Amino acid sequence: MKTITLATFLVATVPLYLYSSEPSAFGAGNINNPHPYGLTKSEKVILENKHSLISNKKNLRKVEIKSNKQENEVDLLRERIDGLQTIVESISRKSHKNTIKLNELKTKTKEESQNSNEYEIRLGDVTQTNAKSIELNNDSIKKIKLVISELSILIDSINTKYITRDEFNTLVDNVNSFKTLMVNELKAQKKVSIKKVSKSPFANMTNGDVATKAKTLFERQRYTKAIKYYKYLIEKKYRPAKSHYIIGEIYFRKRDYGDAISYFKKSATLYSKASYMPTLMLHTAISMEKTGDKEHANNFYRGIIAQYPNSQEAIVAEDNLSK
């Protein structure tokens, strides 16, 4: 009975706070437990903050790994960009060198083209002269062949009469000497004919010099020679529109209206905004009227009046159109 009473007394006298701490002995209130229980509000907050901290650390680690990966990729991209920049600079230098070479080649090609045109003109003159020389040479060759034929007959005749070997050899030597003499003479004639080739009037002249000379000839009404100079400028492609116009003017003044229309048309095709266009159109219209093409002539007159209403050519066009 005493024992029970003492136990009962001990239970009755134990403080309440001991009852409250008793569950911790069994794991309650342990926030480090994988499955904590019996947590107070403060412990729950601490546990939530702990979980949040762990989660943030994990996310921060992932971000750090991802950042390092991106930094490596950026470094690789920078290396590639540097490589590409080096390649582009190399290509740019090569392109610049190629441009310089291309410009040099264009200049060289232009000079060679000019030299080629001058050579063709001289070659044409030489060819024409040589053709005459060849014709003369052919006549000489025919005469030589005739002489040789006669000599052959003579030799055959001598052989039939049993001439001596010495005499025959002497005759053959004479024939060979004659051949050599004629060949040398032909060569001499050919050299003389080449030396007599007339020098081109445009030799040692620039295109500008030829144009100046052509203008002087035109102003002095030396039309035949002026046409030759302007046609040379057309071949050289030096201000071809103006050259075609001047040749058209020459044919117009010579009343060769068909050729005048042809050159006027070509000039207008090459450069339709030239200062001489009103005159070109007026003379084209007059040339058409002279050749009987009045319908097109009237169209040209109307065109002059519409495009150049304040010009002297428009006044002439209106007068011709009223007739």
pLDDT in tens, 204-263: 889 999 999 999 999 999 999 999 999 999 999 999 999 999 999 999 999 999 999 999
30: region left, alpha or beta (phi > 0 left; psi from -120 to 50 alpha):
beta
At 241, list the tokens. 């529109």
Express as a percent the part of the chain with pLDDT over 90. 36
**pLDDT of res. 314:** 95
Place of tokens 């392109």: 95
110/20: higher pLDDT? 110
Using the 8-state DSSP alphabet, how is residue 73 labeled?
A: H
Say if CB 29 and CB 40 are below 8 A apart: yes
* Residue of 10, 218, 163 lying closest to 210 (CA atoms): 218
Computed over every residue of the chain, the mean pLDDT equals 77
If one compares 310 and 79, the residue with the highest pLDDT of the two is 310
pLDDT at position 126, please? Answer: 64
Write the CA distances from 238 to 21, 91, 99, 268, integer angstroms.
117, 37, 26, 16
Q: If you average pLDDT over residues 26-46, what whole number do you get?
A: 70
Residue 1: the pLDDT is 44
- Out of 22-26, 97-101, 304-308, the most confident range is 304-308
pLDDT, position 270: 94
How far is Cα 8 from Cα 162, in angstroms, rounded to an integer? 187
Read off the pLDDT of residues 188-207 as tens digits, 9 standing for 90 and up: 665 555 444 456 788 888 99
Residue 29 has pLDDT above 70, yes or no: no
Domains and CATH numbers, the chain: 117-195 (no CATH), 207-322 (1.25.40.10)
Averaged over 283-302, what is the pLDDT?
94
Distances (CA, A) of 12 to 4, 19, 130, 152: 12, 12, 154, 174
CA-to-CA distance for 200 and 215, rounded, in angstroms?
19
